[in-house]
Amino acid sequence: MTIIKILLILAVIGLAIFLLRSHGTSRGGAYLKIGMAVFLAFAAYAVIRPDDLTWVAMQLGVGRGADLLLYALVVGFGFFAISTYLRFKELELKYARLARAVAINEAEQVDLRAAAATRPHDPQSRS
């Protein structure tokens, strides 16, 4: 197997573990921002000096620099997609719990009012 394939597989596994453990935390978020910045710098560099990129690509077993950029983009997109999905699920849970609290509170108010309406005379009010 060429180096690029090994690297890609390792990157996928490594990032998967990392993401699942620290997503949603501020530390995970910081890592992701750093990752984005590195990726953008890498992309800008690839535009400015494409031949350097091609050299790197060939070391890894990839034909062209543009292909290397493409692989990196696909992997990056994959993680962004999963990370976003997981964060949405978490948001969903939060608002579900919020809606539940509102619903139960409202129902308990109704129950209290119904109980008060049917309660016989308060024994404490009798002298």
Partner 1 sequence: MTRSEPADGAQGNSDVWLVVPVFNETRVIRSVLATVLPTFPNIVCVDDGSTDGSADQIRGTGARLVRHPINLGQGAAIQTGVEYARKQRGARYFVTFDADGQHQVDDVRRMVTRLRTEPLDIVIGTRFRGNADDVPLVKRLVLRTAVALSPRIRRLGLTDSHNGLRAFNRTVADGMDITSNGMVHSPEIVAMIDVNRWRVAEEPVSILYTDYSKAKGQSLLNGVNIVFDSAVRRRH
Query: Which member of 12, 84, 96, 109 binds partner 1 (CB under 8 A)?
Result: 96
- According to the binding rule CB under 8 A, does residue 12 interact with partner 1? no
- According to the binding rule CB under 8 A, does residue 73 interact with partner 1? no
Start-to-end C-alpha separation, the chain: 94
- According to the binding rule CB under 8 A, does residue 126 interact with partner 1? no
Q: Which of residues 18-47 bind partner 1 (CB under 8 A)?
A: 20
What number of CA atoms fall less than 13 Å from residue 37's CA on the CB side? 6
Residue 3 in contact with residue 60, Cβ under 8 Å? Answer: yes
CA dihedral 97, 100, 102, 107 (to 10 degrees): -160
Choose between 49 and 100: whose C-beta lies nearer to partner 1.
100
In the block, tokens 């573990």 appear at: 17
Choose between 1 and 115: whose C-beta lies nearer to partner 1.
115
- According to the binding rule CB under 8 A, does residue 85 interact with partner 1? yes
- According to the binding rule CB under 8 A, does residue 100 interact with partner 1? yes
Name the site residues for partner 1 (rule: CB under 8 A).
Answer: 20, 82, 85-86, 89, 92-93, 96, 99-100, 102-104, 106-107, 110-111, 114-115, 118-119
